[in-house]
């Protein structure tokens, strides 16, 4: 164990294990996680060894990832994760056939592999889609095939020329009647009418899936375009895995990250599928080609919506985890890494004629290094508590919907849409930028793939774009919040009441205050007074309310001046993004502080005051750091004044120095094993330098003594000049 | 040609070619560049084809890059770049043997290859080092070997455990006298005493170079440690390319980018080299082991210093070019890409019973997309003008030093150190973040390696770290600037005079004003008044002066309170970074506007008022956008007031809409050929979608009909369930 890391761990004021239990949910869950991680790590097949990942050609890594996925599923079957396991984090209630794998333990097993598994999408996207979009008979037919991997599916929505604007998709599914050769029961003709309609991006579509849930425009028997619907399209023969007639699928080529995955393209050339391959839960077409919408009760449609938002909650949670991975690596390495002499001490220690340099400073002691890393540690915890809160709240709502108890209102659901949009957008960008900042904060060695940070970063980088582009979501959030402005402006008491259980409820009071003309301002006069989480939260809430009102006002003004709505809207997109960020920050800080309170009273956890204190320190740092970062927002309406900005800056430095001695312990608490970290710099024992060198030597470029490019290089020799050999021959070993 | 791009080009208000000439230096230089690009592109060897780069294993790409470098040098020899070419951008005066390649044309040729060439470092780092560190006799011996590639060298400074703190390097060079077996003339023993002393990172050290300029602690004949010196150490036999006895070198493994390059490690086990392999221009050791500093005239030592700063100027210039590459790709693609319907129009056009979707909006028309890209276009031009200014100024100073005319003062040189430190730090981070922002602004397709953006980004990412880490440089800059504070505070007229020709001269007046207690504030009352480059520059200059004074004050206060200097310094690092950024912005904006004026009067260029206008628009956008970004800095001392912040925001939107119609033409002006862009999204003809699909199909993962991982996948089949084949058999083609 590196002596510096040892000392850091000794300095911690709290028990690491207790925070680990918070992060896992309970001591039992911690044990179970470790147990499953051991099973993977010690699997006799050896297939889970990740130590050569970085040296493989992409094709080899993809094939190896497939082998890992298969072995992992074999293990899951063997130890009874699946059939015997009835707990799920994604849905409440008992799991059903075909969905068995969406359990907490299954996720633990997947995470334990610590490599990207293409097969994963079959369970987390394809199977849930069959369940939510297909009718009972279809589910009964297809789910057993999914369970047994006769049907390996993917969800094929985006097209080469079409991303988030789903209504613009071009792929067609045209009804073929018996008279047109569609058989007695009728058929569908799936077709890609243009190059831009090629399906593009769906994970596992390229080389893994034999079936796709294809989103296409439905043209019914009357040749009427009924818009976007889902169709189950076979892609490959399930025995030979060869492409079926009319189907061209392939991998879309290397990406900046996530290259185990075969994101794919598909071109359909008049592919005929049975009529009943249309997903028929919400609409159907009969054998005469007649289109019918099915009446679905409101709860069912809301549940489908909740599922989408659970994915967002999961993304927020993952943003925290991914960031914590990066923080773990960088914090540990910054404790081990020493650079720069302490100028107040002599530089060279002479000892018996042998020169010895005195040790340099720990990099973690530089305030600018703390300023780069510690707020990210705080953010990782903040995202954990927010993801946890969102998940619980969504499950609570889903319970009510499924059981028919309680009353879930439209306002609640659309408000969740707003907050989850804002949160997804902000958390994923903080995390993506934060991972890259952690990488840079490791100096040159952060550039090495063996540091673990490049792959962590490049794989993470999809998140700001997928599941709603971060630059598209904010306007959706503001669109919803503008309704609240109307309610508050009009003093509509009933309308206000409807926000009782909503995340955006906090906006009401500060908006009312601003509208009434009361001057709002921060009252803190010294460091002590500003270190008050309620006061800081109020600042965030005020900013959010102010920016929302400004967007509403500007929109109204523009419309009043005769600007068309779509033009005015476009002109306000930058401001909407700012408002959406402000909204997310207010929710994040609130969830952070509430989360800390909640775990204190959780009987499964024995959280002590030391653990509460260090988590609260993180909440403080989060609060003051992100005010400092967006200082203009708080100054421009004089909510903060000049003297308070220097208080904020002082508070940031104060919190950095307070967290310093707990920094390593805070990242240790996430309990990421070396097997999962895959980082020469982030090793638990701190022996980073031998690990870097060992990793370097593995590169196949080093396979031969002479350089592999020398065969070309020597062509440059010019004859007739003095031979260099005479010179180089002088090098020798004593 | 894509119709949208065609229209965009028609809409431009200026002549693209004229700005191209500005960027190249003159119409002649544009022609020469294109000529050399054609030679590379059309080379019959075919080796320069980059279209398979993305599918090669790292080893294969490295070897291929070596072949490219060799072929490029053969071409250079053939067409007389080198021997016949006497112009150089890096040094003034005629080029000398071994340095021939550092000419403008050589750089054009290297850039034309549009791939990373490891060999490049031999010329840009190793040879210049021999010239600047070795005495005449040494140069005469070694430079011809360099020219003829008998000696292929690298510069080996950093070690596994030591980066920017050069004084902490551990590698030793110990003098071995005749009595100790060092031969009649004496020898050196080069040794890596610890694991952390392994040389690590030097480019081409691993597999390419046969010689290294090794930085080591010199232990002289009296066993006295004389600190860091340079030693020419043979690594490999120049005929067989095998490692020499006692030398272990290898590649350090895959990196996040720049993987053609074999960055290397080296471990020296008591390697003996001749005494005269020590670089002896500035110090020498005689055959008795006696160490002597050589007296070098001040001009010579300043020239060496200028060379380092020329590298910084080059980095600023490259920051602009790299950013321009990204902007070219993203701007063109955003003009071609359409997403989202115009809600004011009907969505589906029905025509003869065939449904046709109306076209979506150009992504470039969304204000948030403009807000992401256009300021970066502006920054790319700003960095060009700043790099150009720095380069010219440094060459002017070098001329004076070499010719002995004029008087270059210490103040001038250290001021250049400050400004080049601040500029390097700011420009490389704006560029790194900007390239990534451009990548994200391409949506999902920006994740594709075939977009060209991932490689552009990951290769660029070294720049914030190398040549002075961006988080280390700011304090060096502030360290220098604090002297100016002292001079101004004391009202030292002579001292102030010394800053006459310095970049930091602008700080004097605003500092004097603040010190005199005068309230400084922006006077603009409307959009018209704020659109004034002098007024905006003044705001930047004021901020910079204010922050510098605050750092000085806080430092003084802390010291006054009894805090030790090193502790106080550490506590101010975050503020110093802020001040350094402010300094860089002030210099950048000033150089931008001066640069535009300069090119207007350049007789080689025929710049018209349209070109001046569009460049000035970019300067405006740069000015207002980066105030908006750091608004807190301008608000916290009330230099700006609330009403002015909304003016700034309005000004930003105003400039975005003004630049909109010139955006494509502004990126076209950089004249990056498709061969150099290597981007399916950035193609000059805008035919992006066929290009993406074509690139996808090339991935070796698509070599077989069935997926390559299916061999594993089918192990999951469970017997006894309904065969899926019956179902998939129904898919057929009409």
Please state which CATH number belongs to domain A303-668. 1.20.140.10
CB A96 within 8 A of CB A44: no
Pick the residue with more confidence: A719 or A466? A466
CB pairs under 8 A between A and B: 521
Per-residue pLDDT tens over the stretch B392-420 = 999 888 888 878 777 888 899 999 999 99
Least confident of A84-98, A260-274, A486-500: A84-98
Pick the residue with more confidence: A633 or A311? A633
pLDDT of residue B723: 43
Q: Using CA atoms, how far apart are residues B156 and B250, in angstroms rounded to an integer?
A: 13
Least confident of A651-665, B49-63, B591-605, B717-731: B717-731
Provide the angle, in degrees to the nearest 10, between the axes of the packed helices B367-403 and B573-600. Answer: 80
Tell whether the model's pLDDT for residue A12 goes beyond 50.
Answer: yes
In order, the DSSP letters of A488-553 are HHTT-HHHHHTTTT-GGGGGHHHHHHHHTTPPP-----SHHHH--HHHHHHHHHHHHHHHHHHHHH
CB A109 within 8 A of CB A81: yes
Query: What value does the mean pLDDT of chain A take?
Result: 91
CB B75 within 8 A of CB B48: no
Three-state SS string over A165-188 comes to CHHHCCCEEEEECCCCCCCCCCEE
Q: CB-based burial of residue A5 (10 Å sphere; 0-12 exposed, 13-18 middle, 19+ buried)?
A: buried
Q: What is the mean pLDDT of residues B611-617?
A: 98
Q: What is the mean pLDDT of residues A681-691?
A: 98
pLDDT of residue B78: 82
Query: Are the beta carbons of B63 and A708 separated by less than 8 Å?
Result: yes
pLDDT of residue B91: 35
**Could you give the percent of chain A with pLDDT greater than 90?**
78
Instruction: Give CA A685 to chain center in angstroms.
Output: 28
CB B119 within 8 A of CB B208: yes
Tell whether the model's pLDDT for residue A357 goes beyond 60.
Answer: yes
The torsion angle over the Cα atoms of residues B680, B683, B685 and B691, rounded to 10 degrees, is -10
Q: Pick the catalytic residue: B17, B97, B104, B467?
A: B467
Mutation target for A interface from B474, B632, B655, B656: give the one with most A CBs within 10 A: B632
Q: Which residues contact A385 (CB under 8 A, 6 or more apart)?
A: A591, A592, A594, A595, A596
Query: Are the beta carbons of B574 and A440 separated by less than 8 Å?
Result: no
Pick the residue with more confidence: A167 or A565? A565
> Which among B343, B449, B469 has CB closest to A254?
B449
Least confident of A357-366, B650-659, B718-727: B718-727
Chain A CA closest to residue B238: A725
Tell whether the model's pLDDT for residue B95 goes beyond 80.
Answer: no
> Which among B70, B630, B710 has CB closest to A715?
B70
Least confident of A252-256, B129-133, B380-384: B129-133
Q: Which residues of B touch A145 (CB under 8 A)?
A: 721-722, 724, 727
Which two tokens mark B283? 């110090």
* pLDDT category of residue A167 using cuts at 50, 70 and 90: confident
Helix H or strand E segment including A293: strand A291-293
Q: Using CA atoms, how far apart are residues A712 and B47, in angstroms rounded to an integer?
A: 12
- Half-sphere exposure at residue A613, Cβ-oriented, CA atoms within 13 angstroms: 10
pLDDT of residue A143: 85
ipTM: 0.95
The torsion angle over the Cα atoms of residues B709, B714, B716 and B720, rounded to 10 degrees, is 170
Pick the residue with more confidence: A145 or A718? A145
Per-residue pLDDT tens over the stretch B173-206 = 999 999 999 999 999 999 999 999 999 999 999 9
Q: What are the boundaries of each domain within chain B?
A: 303-344+356-668
pLDDT of residue A104: 84
Closest CA–CA distance from residue A38 to any residue of chain B (Å): 23
Mutation target for A interface from B425, B475, B724: give the one with most A CBs within 10 A: B724
Q: What is the mean pLDDT of residues A460-474?
A: 94
Tell whether the model's pLDDT for residue A274 goes beyond 90.
Answer: yes
Active site residues of A: 467
Q: Using CA atoms, how far apart are residues B611 and A661, in angstroms rounded to an integer?
A: 57
pLDDT of residue A163: 83
Phi, psi of A186 (to 5 degrees): 85, 155
Q: Using CA atoms, how far apart are residues A218 and A171, in angstroms rounded to an integer?
A: 9
Architecture of domain B303-344+356-668: Up-down Bundle (1.20)
* pLDDT category of residue B731 using cuts at 50, 70 and 90: very low
Phi, psi of A355 (to 5 degrees): -75, 130
Q: Using CA atoms, how far apart are residues B275 and B290, in angstroms rounded to an integer?
A: 11
CB A233 within 8 A of CB A268: yes
pLDDT of residue A734: 31
pLDDT of residue B398: 83
In chain A, count of helices (H) and strands (E)? 27, 14
pLDDT of residue B618: 98
Tell whether the model's pLDDT for residue A355 goes beyond 80.
Answer: no
Q: What is the mean pLDDT of residues A388-412?
A: 86
Per-residue pLDDT tens over the stretch A608-662 = 999 999 999 999 999 999 999 999 999 999 999 989 999 999 999 999 999 999 9
Mutation target for B interface from A204, A338, A651, A727: give the one with most B CBs within 10 A: A727
Q: Which residues of A touch B700 (CB under 8 A)?
A: 57-59
Tell whether the model's pLDDT for residue B85 goes beyond 90.
Answer: no
Mutation target for B interface from A696, A725, A726: give the one with most B CBs within 10 A: A696
pLDDT of residue B718: 62
pLDDT of residue A661: 98
pLDDT of residue B100: 47
Helix H or strand E segment including B285: strand B283-285
> Do A150-296 and A303-668 share a fold?
no
**Could you give the percent of chain B with pLDDT greater than 90?**
78
Q: Which residues of B touch A439 (CB under 8 A)?
A: 256
Q: Which residues of A touch B635 (CB under 8 A)?
A: 631-632, 635-636
Q: Tell me if residue B559 falls in helix, strand or coil.
A: helix
CA distances from A373 to A323, A584, A669, B661 (A): 10, 21, 16, 42
Q: Which residues of A touch B278 (CB under 8 A)?
A: none
Q: Which residues of B touch A730 (CB under 8 A)?
A: 234, 272-274
Q: Using CA atoms, how far apart are residues A363 and A90, in angstroms rounded to an integer?
A: 41
- Intra-chain end-to-end CA distance of chain A, in Å: 35
pLDDT of residue A724: 42
Tell whether the model's pLDDT for residue A89 goes beyond 50.
Answer: no
Per-residue pLDDT tens over the stretch B269-301 = 999 999 999 999 999 999 999 999 988 777 777
> Which among B189, B225, B734 has CB closest to A348?
B225
Query: Are the beta carbons of A454 and B256 separated by less than 8 Å?
Result: yes
Q: Using CA atoms, how far apart are residues A320 and A384, in angstroms rounded to an integer?
A: 6
pLDDT of residue A86: 46
Pick the residue with more confidence: B344 or A632? A632
Query: Are the beta carbons of A573 and B366 separated by less than 8 Å?
Result: yes
pLDDT of residue B340: 87
Phi, psi of B600 (to 5 degrees): -60, -35
Helix H or strand E segment including A351: strand A348-351
* pLDDT category of residue A54 using cuts at 50, 70 and 90: very high
Tell whether the model's pLDDT for residue B352 goes beyond 90.
Answer: no
pLDDT of residue B567: 95
Pick the residue with more confidence: A147 or A575? A575
Nearest alpha-carbon partner for B57 in A291, A55, A333:
A55
Closest CA–CA distance from residue B407 to any residue of chain A (Å): 34
Max CA separation in chain B (angstroms): 102
Enter the pTM of the model.
0.96
pLDDT of residue A166: 85
CB atoms under 10 Å from CB of B114, counted, come to: 20
Chain B CA closest to residue A209: B707
Closest CA–CA distance from residue A6 to any residue of chain B (Å): 19
Query: Are the beta carbons of A367 and B573 separated by less than 8 Å?
Result: yes
Query: Are the beta carbons of B632 and A649 separated by less than 8 Å?
Result: no
CATH topology of domain A150-296: Butyryl-CoA Dehydrogenase, subunit A; domain 2 (2.40.110)
pLDDT of residue A482: 98
Q: Which residues of B touch A156 (CB under 8 A)?
A: none
């Amino acid at each position: 164990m590196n002596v510096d890391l040892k000392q850091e761990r000794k300095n911690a004021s709290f028990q690491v294990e207790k925070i680990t239990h918070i992060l896992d949910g309970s001591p039992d869950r911690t044990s179970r996680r470790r147990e499953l991680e051991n099973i993977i790590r010690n699997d006799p097949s050896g297939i889970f060894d990740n130590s050569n990942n970085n040296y493989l050609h992409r094709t080899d890594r993809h094939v190896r990832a497939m082998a890992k996925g298969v072995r992992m599923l074999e293990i899951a079957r063997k130890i009874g994760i699946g059939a015997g396991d009835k707990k799920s984090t994604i849905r409440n209630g008992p799991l059903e056939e075909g969905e068995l794998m969406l359990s907490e333990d299954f996720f633990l097993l997947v995470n334990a592999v610590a490599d990207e598994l293409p097969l994963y999408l079959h369970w987390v996207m394809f199977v849930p889609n069959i369940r939510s979009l297909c009718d009972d008979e279809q589910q009964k037919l297809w789910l057993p095939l999914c369970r047994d991997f006769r049907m390996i599916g993917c969800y094929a929505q985006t097209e080469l020329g079409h991303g988030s604007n789903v209504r613009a998709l071009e792929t067609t599914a045209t009804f073929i009647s018996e008279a047109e050769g569609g058989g007695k029961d009728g058929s569908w003709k799936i077709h890609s009418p243009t190059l831009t309609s090629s399906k593009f991006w769906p994970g596992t579509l390229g080389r893994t899936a034999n079936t796709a849930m294809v989103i296409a425009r439905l043209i019914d028997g009357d040749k009427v375009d009924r818009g976007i619907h889902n169709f189950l399209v076979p892609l490959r023969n399930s025995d030979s895995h060869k492409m079926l007639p009319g189907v061209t699928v392939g991998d879309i080529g290397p990406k900046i990250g996530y290259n185990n995955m075969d994101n794919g393209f598909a071109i359909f050339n008049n592919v005929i599928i049975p009529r009943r391959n249309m997903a028929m839960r919400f609409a159907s077409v009969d054998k005469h080609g007649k289109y019918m919408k099915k009446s679905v009760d409101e709860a069912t449609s809301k549940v489908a919506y909740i599922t989408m938002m659970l994915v967002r909650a999961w993304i927020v949670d993952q943003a925290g985890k991914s960031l914590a991975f990066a923080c773990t690596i960088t914090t540990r390495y910054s404790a081990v890494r020493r650079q720069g002499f302490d100028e107040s001490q002599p530089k060279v220690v002479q000892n018996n004629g042998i020169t010895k340099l005195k040790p340099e400073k720990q990099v973690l002691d530089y305030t600018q290094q703390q300023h780069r890393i510690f707020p990210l540690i705080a953010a990782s915890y903040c995202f954990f508590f927010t993801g946890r809160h969102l998940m619980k709240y969504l499950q609570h709502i889903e319970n009510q919907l499924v059981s028919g108890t309680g009353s879930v209102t439209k306002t609640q659901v659309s408000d969740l849409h707003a907050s989850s949009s804002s949160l997804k957008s902000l958390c994923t960008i903080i995390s993506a930028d934060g991972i890259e900042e952690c990488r840079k904060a490791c100096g040159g060695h952060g550039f090495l793939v063996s540091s673990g940070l490049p792959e962590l970063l490049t794989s993470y980088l999809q998140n700001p774009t997928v599941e709603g582009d971060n630059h598209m979501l904010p306007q959706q959030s503001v669109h919803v919040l503008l309704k609240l402005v109307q309610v508050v402006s009009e003093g509509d008491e009933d309308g206000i009441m409807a926000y009782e259980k909503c995340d955006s409820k906090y906006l009401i009071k500060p908006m009312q205050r601003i509208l009434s003309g009361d001057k709002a301002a921060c009252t803190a006069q010294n460091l002590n007074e500003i270190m008050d989480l309620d006061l800081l939260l109020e600042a965030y809430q005020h900013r959010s309310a102010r920016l929302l009102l400004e967007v509403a006002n500007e929109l109204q003004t523009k419309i009043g001046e005769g600007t068309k709505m779509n033009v005015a809207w476009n002109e306000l997109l930058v401001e909407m993004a700012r408002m959406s960020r402000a909204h997310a920050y207010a929710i994040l800080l609130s969830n952070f502080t509430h989360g800390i309170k909640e775990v204190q009273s959780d009987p499964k956890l024995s959280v002590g005051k030391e653990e509460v204190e260090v988590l609260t320190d993180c909440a403080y740092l989060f609060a003051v750091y992100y005010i400092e970062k967006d200082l203009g927002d708080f100054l421009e309406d004089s909510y903060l004044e000049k003297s308070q900005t220097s208080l904020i800056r002082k508070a940031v430095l104060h919190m950095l120095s307070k967290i310093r001695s707990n920094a390593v312990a805070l990242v240790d608490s996430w309990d990421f094993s070396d097997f999962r970290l895959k980082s020469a710099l982030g090793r638990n024992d701190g022996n980073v330098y031998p690990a870097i060198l060992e990793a370097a030597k593995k590169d196949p470029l080093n396979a031969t003594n002479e350089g592999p490019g020398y065969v070309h290089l020597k062509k440059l020799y010019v004859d007739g000049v003095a031979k260099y050999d005479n010179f180089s021959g002088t090098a020798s070993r004593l």
